[in-house]
Amino acid sequence: MDFFLFLILSLCLSYNGVDAGREISMNQQHRILSKNNFNTVFATDDDDFDCVDIYKQPAFQHPLLKNHKIQMHPNLSIESTASSIRKTFRLQHHDEGCPPGKVPIQRIKSKNVIDAEFMLPRHADVFHQFTKEFPGQHFATMYTRAPYSFMPYHGARATVDIHNPSVEMNQFSMAQIWVQNGHSSDLNSLQVGWGVHPRIYGDNLTRFTTYWTADNYQKTGCYNMMCPGFVQVHPTKRLGQSFKGISIIGGEQWVIDILISQDKSTGNWWLTIYGDEKIGYWPKEIFTHLGDGANYLEYGGWTYNSPSGISPPMGSGKFPSNNYTVACWFAQIRYVNEVYREDDVHRLNMVKYNTDANCYDLKYLFYAGKIFGHTFSFGGPGGNCIT
Ligand X SMILES: *[C@@H]1O[C@H](CO)[C@@H](O)[C@H](O)[C@H]1NC(C)=O
Instruction: With contacts defined by CB under 6 A, name the span among 100-108, 198-206, 223-231, 270-278 that binds ligand X.
Output: 198-206
Residue 202 lies near ligand X (rule: CB under 6 A): yes
Q: Which stretch binds ligand X (CB under 6 A): 195-203, 222-230, 285-293, 341-349?
A: 195-203
Please say which residue, 198 or 240, places its beta carbon nearer to ligand X: 198
CB nearer ligand X, residue 221 or residue 245: 245
At closest approach, how far in Å is the CB of 362 from ligand X?
A: 19
Contacting range for ligand X; rule: CB under 6 A; set: 35-43, 53-61, 87-95, 162-170: 162-170
Residues 239-268 that bind ligand X (CB under 6 A): 249-250, 264-265
**Which residue number, 99 or 250, has a Cβ lying nearer to ligand X?**
250
Q: For the CB of residue 36, give the shortest distance to ligand X in the complex, in Å.
A: 12
323 lies in the site for ligand X, by CB under 6 A: yes
For residue 182, which of 143, 213, 203 has the smallest C-alpha distance?
213
d(CA 299, CA 279): 20
In the bound state, the residue with its beta carbon closest to ligand X is: 250
Euclidean distance between CA atoms 98 and 232, whole angstroms: 12
In whole angstroms, how close is the CB of 184 to ligand X at the nearest point?
Answer: 33
Adjacency order of strands within the sheet including 222-223: 222-223, 207-213, 188-196, 171-181, 296-305, 137-144, 350-354
Q: Shortest distance, CB of residue 322 to ligand X, whole angstroms?
A: 8
The per-type count for the chain, helices as H runs and strands as E runs, is 5, 18
Q: Are strands 296-305 and 137-144 parallel, antiparallel or unpaired?
A: antiparallel
* Separation between Cα atoms, residue 69 and residue 44, nearest integer Å: 31
One of 28, 131, 204, 349 touching ligand X (CB under 6 A): 204
Q: Pick between residue 19 and residue 168 the one whose CB is nearest to ligand X.
A: 168
Give me the helix-helix angle, 22-35 and 2-11, nearest 10°: 60
Interface with ligand X includes 349 (CB under 6 A)?
Answer: no
Check whether the bond before 152 is cis (ω within 30° of 0).
yes
Residues 6+ apart with CB under 8 A from 125: 118, 172, 197, 199, 304
Residues facing residue 294 across a β-bridge = 153
Q: Which residues contact 195 (CB under 8 A, 6 or more apart)?
A: 172, 173, 174, 175, 176, 206, 207, 209
Binding segment for ligand X among 19-27, 130-138, 238-246, 318-326 (CB under 6 A)? 318-326
Q: Which member of 168, 186, 276, 338 binds ligand X (CB under 6 A)? A: 168
198 binds ligand X (CB under 6 A): yes
At residue 129, φ and ψ (nearest 5 deg) are: -60, -25
Please list, in sequence order, all residues whose beta carbon lies within 8 angstroms of the beta carbon of residue 245, skipping any fewer than 6 positions away: 39, 41, 162, 252, 254
C-beta separation of 176 from 192 below 8 A: yes
Smallest gap from Cβ 346 to ligand X, in A, equals 24
Residues 88-147 that bind ligand X (CB under 6 A): none
Interaction of residue 50 with ligand X, rule CB under 6 A: no
For residue 250, the minimal CB distance to ligand X (Å) is 3
- Helix (H) or strand (E) segment spanning residue 10: helix 2-11
Q: In angstroms, give the least distance from the CB of 215 to ligand X.
A: 30
Cβ 260 vs Cβ 270: under 8 Å: yes
User: Minimum distance from CB of 33 to ligand X (Å)?
Assistant: 11
Output the smallest distance, CB 10 to ligand X, in A. Answer: 12
Min CB(169)–ligand X separation in Å: 6
Residues 258-317 that bind ligand X (CB under 6 A): 264-265
CA distance 66 to 204: 36
> For the stretch 36-53, what's the b/e string if a residue is b when 16 or more beta carbons lie within 10 angstroms of its beta carbon?
eebbbbbeeebebbeebe
Binding ligand X (rule: CB under 6 A), the pick from 28, 36, 77, 129 is 77
Please give the Cα distance from 51 to 107 (Å, whole number). 10
Closer by beta carbon to ligand X, 331 or else 350? 331
15 touches ligand X (CB under 6 A): yes
Binding site for ligand X (CB under 6 A): 14-15, 75, 77, 166, 168-169, 198, 202-204, 249-250, 264-265, 323, 325-326
